[in-house]
Structure 1
Amino acid sequence: MIRNVVGSVLALAGATAAVLSPFRAWYDGRHGRDYAIDELFTGITDAKSALVSSILLPFAFAALLTLIGVLLRSRLLVALAGLVVLGFTVLWMVRVAQVQDGLVIGADGRGLGDGVSNALGGAALLLIGAVVMSGRGRRARAGRVDRAPEPAAPEAGYGPEAGQPYAYGPPDVAPPPSTDVPWDPARDEDPPPPGHRA
């Protein structure tokens, strides 16, 4: 329970950071929302993208996956959301590096901005949250009735089916002979006491 709570908090924090990252500077002061999704596959240009078709869209999708994964306590969905954020961020870095002949990290506002670090940090939090979460516990199927184990079949050669009671063991062990003499009413009016011998 505690692991699910901690993992959910980390995942939600990561999703929030990922969604907010396109509104921060990504490279040379240019915000992430200015990069179109198709530019990640065709090449980065200087054209400004609309918000609905910008890099914000896959991050919003990842946030939706995160929310569903937290509600369902699904580690797989949360991890998938982290991979979506990480994948699109890395793909953007590759495309920008191709255009700029490498990536630069500068303290004067040039080069990589804090939007990229927010996206990478959000992806890391999502993946860590998926690892921390314990997921759903195994639940018994509805309507499932546990059956008692069936008794083992008796060994062949003895048992009630073979005409031998269990008390005497296998058929090669015969019961002890009786020492009592049957009572004959013509010989004696009263039955003999137990253990009487003729």
Structure 2
Amino acid sequence: MIRNVLGAVVALVGAAAAVQSPFRRWYDTRLGRDYRIQDLFDGITGVSSSVMASILLPFLFAALLTLVGVVLRSRTAVALAGLVALGFTVLWMVRLGQAESGLTLDGDGSGLGWGVAQALAGGVLILLGALLMSGRRRAARPGRNAPEPFPVPPDDRPDTWPPTQEPGPAAYTSQAPEPEADPYTGPDPYTGPGRHRATSGDEDTAEYPVQGEVPPGQGDDRYRPPHP
């Protein structure tokens, strides 16, 4: 953004200098607006020209192109405007050199004037403004490395997925200690049929009959006490 603003200011200053240059002295006492635009292609003559038919016209076009390039943030348009300003100035110097058999620059005011220097400086400033501008950023097409609208912050933890090797069975085992197995796995003798577990402190461990069973000593001689 700052580069676009700075480049636009420099380019507009150069365009203003280029437009103002034809109203200054270009060679000897002759102003730049006195040279016809067609003299740049047919040869320099002594015929005067109207303002809108003079070499002011290409500089106005360069200034308009500079303004369009600044509004659209187009470096190409601004650079083209600078080339137009420099190109017509150099073309005028070539044609005048052919007509005068050479160009002179004297300290007494004869020869090339400040208008030519101002036109050259304006073209250079326009080109410099195009170099300073960053231009318009092109929107990335979807599917072609389009940047994410909200970048994801990097994770401080190391990336461990996908794993470099297949995890073994130990990777899925619980780290909690396993309960100890009961050393006695047989049937509980105190919870079988016809038995009950005595309460703590009860020393009576006599077996109680279950419904349907014959108590010892009844109905069986094997359980009768011996005759005294």
TM-score (normalised: structure 2):
0.61
- Residue 107 of structure 2 aligns to a residue in which SS? coil
**One-letter code of the match for 1:34?**
D
| CA distance in structure 1 between the aligned counterparts of 2:29 and 2:105, rounded to whole angstroms | 12
Q: Which residue of 1 aligns with 2:2?
A: 2
Q: Which residue of 2 aligns with 1:41?
A: 41
Q: 1:140: how far off?
A: 4.7
Q: Considering only aligned residues, what root-mean-square deviation do their CA atoms show, in Å?
A: 1.5
Unmatched tracts of structure 1, length 5 or more: 147-198
Higher relative contact order, structure no. (Cα contacts within 8 Å, ≥ 6 residues apart): 1
- Note the alpha carbon deviations across 1:24-81, whole angstroms, 9 max, x for none: 0000021100000100000101110011110000100000000000000000000000
Q: 1:139: how far off?
A: 2.2
| CA distance in structure 2 between the aligned counterparts of 1:122 and 1:3, rounded to whole angstroms | 19
Percent identity reads 65
| CA distance in structure 2 between the aligned counterparts of 1:109 and 1:96, rounded to whole angstroms | 17
| CA distance in structure 2 between the aligned counterparts of 1:95 and 1:109, rounded to whole angstroms | 21
Structure-to-structure mapping, 1:80-119, within 5 angstroms: 80-119=80-119
Q: Which residue of 1 aligns with 2:199?
A: none
Higher Cα Rg: structure 1 or 2? 2
**One-letter code of the match for 1:85?**
A
Q: Which residue of 2 aligns with 1:155?
A: none
| CA distance in structure 2 between the aligned counterparts of 1:3 and 1:136, rounded to whole angstroms | 11
Unmatched tracts of structure 2, length 5 or more: 145-228
| CA distance in structure 2 between the aligned counterparts of 1:107 and 1:50, rounded to whole angstroms | 29
Q: 1:108: how far off?
A: 1.2
- Note the alpha carbon deviations across 1:127-173, whole angstroms, 9 max, x for none: 111111000012256xx689xxxxxxxxxxxxxxxxxxxxxxxxxxx
| CA distance in structure 2 between the aligned counterparts of 1:29 and 1:132, rounded to whole angstroms | 37
Q: Does 1:74 align with 2:74?
A: yes
Q: 1:107: how far off?
A: 1.6
Q: Which residue of 2 aligns with 1:21?
A: 21
Q: Which residue of 1 aligns with 2:134?
A: 134
- Residue 17 of structure 1 aligns to a residue in which SS? helix
Q: Which residue of 2 aligns with 1:196?
A: none
| CA distance in structure 1 between the aligned counterparts of 2:40 and 2:94, rounded to whole angstroms | 9
| CA distance in structure 2 between the aligned counterparts of 1:8 and 1:17, rounded to whole angstroms | 14
| CA distance in structure 2 between the aligned counterparts of 1:75 and 1:60, rounded to whole angstroms | 19
TM-score (normalised: structure 1):
0.70
Q: 1:118: how far off?
A: 0.4
Q: Flag as ranges the 4+ runs of structure 1 deviating above 3 A.
A: none
| CA distance in structure 2 between the aligned counterparts of 1:107 and 1:10, rounded to whole angstroms | 30
Q: Which residue of 2 aligns with 1:60?
A: 60
| CA distance in structure 2 between the aligned counterparts of 1:145 and 1:122, rounded to whole angstroms | 44
| CA distance in structure 2 between the aligned counterparts of 1:43 and 1:138, rounded to whole angstroms | 45
| CA distance in structure 2 between the aligned counterparts of 1:135 and 1:7, rounded to whole angstroms | 10
For these two proteins, the number of residue pairs brought into alignment is 145
| CA distance in structure 2 between the aligned counterparts of 1:73 and 1:29, rounded to whole angstroms | 40
